[in-house]
């Protein structure tokens, strides 16, 4: 059965790039452009795994992550973000992120991180 993935990023460019990276391995069931959409779409589409940006309008990725994890404690979210500072990484992990990839990223690194989160 195809693994369902949700992409969350306010950047159309990044969403397109990520789709290209994952296209052979996963089915992108939905794309959210901010944290509010991410929470709503998670509830609606129940993806198996999520890639989540942090810097977004309306609601940032870490806040969205907390809401999603509250809904579904088993949620598999990989933070995929330009933000690499230690305090943010700690915060994301504490909020329930299962993986963390820094932009700019190489495609294989993202795939590896998603795989390892799904496998865990």
Partner 1 sequence: MEGEVNKLIQLKMMGDKGAERTVESLSMMLDMNVDMKISSVNMVSLFTIPEIVGGDEVVSLFSQFSSTISGSMFCLLSPDDTKKLVSSLLGDLDNEGSDGMCDEMQQSAAEEIGNIITSSFVDVWADTFAIEISHDPPLFANDFADAIVDNVLVEASQSCDYVILFNSTLNVVNADINFNILMLPDPDSLQKVFDLFENVDL
CB 68 within 8 A of CB 44: no
Minimum CB distance to partner 1 smaller for 105 or for 111: 105
Six-digit token string for 37: 């959409």
Cα pseudo-dihedral 12, 108, 105, 91, rounded to 10:
90
Residues 77-106 touching partner 1, rule: CB under 8 A, are 81-88, 91, 103-104
Minimum CB distance to partner 1 smaller for 43 or for 107: 107
Q: Give me the residues that bind partner 1 (CB under 8 A), please.
A: 10-14, 16-17, 55-57, 60, 81-88, 91, 103-104
């Amino acid at each position: 059965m195809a693994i369902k993935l949700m992409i969350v990023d306010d950047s159309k460019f990044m969403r397109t790039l990520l789709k290209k990276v994952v296209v052979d391995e996963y089915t992108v069931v939905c794309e959210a452009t901010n944290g509010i959409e991410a929470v709503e779409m998670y509830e609606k589409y129940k993806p198996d795994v999520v890639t989540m940006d942090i810097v977004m309008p309306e609601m940032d990725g870490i806040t969205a992550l907390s809401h999603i994890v509250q809904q579904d404690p088993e949620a598999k979210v990989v933070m995929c973000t330009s933000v690499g500072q230690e305090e943010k990484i700690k915060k994301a992990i504490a909020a329930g992120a299962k993986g963390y990839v820094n932009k700019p990223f190489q495609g294989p690194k993202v795939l590896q991180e998603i795989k390892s989160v799904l496998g865990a």
